Chains A and B, each alone.
Chain A
């Protein structure tokens, strides 16, 4: 492996370990409110929004294990686990595709 690639991989591993820092950021993101938050803001939920919002049930919603306790340790572990899963799928998928199509 080229040295630069190895260093990037190490950097990425460090980022994964540090991802729970992202959990410390409390506050909302504009336009990413839950149905309950929208209702709080407006006093009603736009009908289309309500209908579409539950169209998909992600297995690990918001990078957390559904139904698990919301202690910081559990959330942090789930967050790191999510990052590992995400990275593993990105790496596996693109490595496979990349090897197939790459020239020289």
Chain B
């Protein structure tokens, strides 16, 4: 899902830089407003985990390889805005140091994997969790579904960015300048492998890590109050 240099024309990759700059700025503001010291180690591990999990290429039938992103569990644990920062750090590093994803395409890749993915994941998790207790097993399922849908959404968007290139960028003779394949090829290619392959992997990873945190210390989850905070609230007499 890491779009390399040369696959998106300047009109597309510049548009995503323009979209991403305010998103990064706002995510940074939110992070500095909301981050608790207790979450710092988790934020650090989240970026590192995302970086490493994307190196785990998994083959699927049909001769294609791909990977999970870890974006869903990061969004559920740290919140979507912190996830934007953590996954962006991993993606920028992959592009600059390891040539995984192009440098012109950093913003487009971040939009797919560091914005769309965590937000879709977070709200899918919220939707399927409903009003259940934080310890409810329904939330494990909700986390799994969030992982699945969010990765498929990011893949679909990547396929869309690829597929509009021959329409947006071609010579007067109709020769494509960048990604040569049209939507009718790029969309199914990206969707099929993520719907039947990597999406399931992302779902399993998300559900597993979620279940572990839920059983160990659910107060770490985004939006949950710690025991100390709950007691404080109980003891506060409204005046």
- Which residues from chain A contact B93 at a C-beta distance below 8 Å? 86, 89-90
- Which residues from chain B contact A38 at a C-beta distance below 8 Å? 180
Q: A5-B41, A90-B48 are in contact. Are A53 and B58 (CB under 8 A)?
A: no
* Minimum CB distance partner of B176 in chain A: A46
The interface bits of chain B over 41-61 (1 if a CB of A lies within 8 angstroms of the residue's CB, else 0) are 111110111011101111100
Interface residue? A98 (CB, 8 A): yes
- Which residues from chain A contact B235 at a C-beta distance below 8 Å? none
Interface residue? A40 (CB, 8 A): no
Interface residue? B22 (CB, 8 A): no
- Which residues from chain B contact A53 at a C-beta distance below 8 Å? 4-6
Instruction: Report how far A25 CA is from B45 CA in the complex, Å.
Output: 25
B216, A55: Cβ atoms closer than 8 Å:
no
- CB-contact partner of B32 in A47, A60, A101, under 8 A: A101
Residues of chain A in range 1-16 having any CB-CB distance to chain B below 8 Å = 1-5, 7-9, 12, 15-16
A51, B6: Cβ atoms closer than 8 Å:
yes
A94, B52: Cβ atoms closer than 8 Å:
no
Interface residue? B131 (CB, 8 A): no
Interface residue? B21 (CB, 8 A): no
User: 8 closest Cβ contacts across the A-B interface?
Assistant: A58-B99, A48-B177, A98-B40, A53-B6, A101-B32, A52-B6, A49-B6, A25-B57
Interface residue? B179 (CB, 8 A): yes
Q: A23-B57, A86-B51, A98-B43 are in contact. Are A46 and B96 (CB under 8 A)?
A: no
- Which residues from chain A contact B89 at a C-beta distance below 8 Å? 90, 93-94
- CB-contact partner of B44 in A35, A85, A91, under 8 A: A91
Interface residue? B104 (CB, 8 A): yes
A58, B97: Cβ atoms closer than 8 Å:
yes
Instruction: Report how far A38 CA is from B165 CA in the complex, Å.
Output: 15
Interface residue? B130 (CB, 8 A): no
A86, B162: Cβ atoms closer than 8 Å:
no
Residue from A5, A31, A32 with most neighbouring chain B CB atoms (10 Å): A31
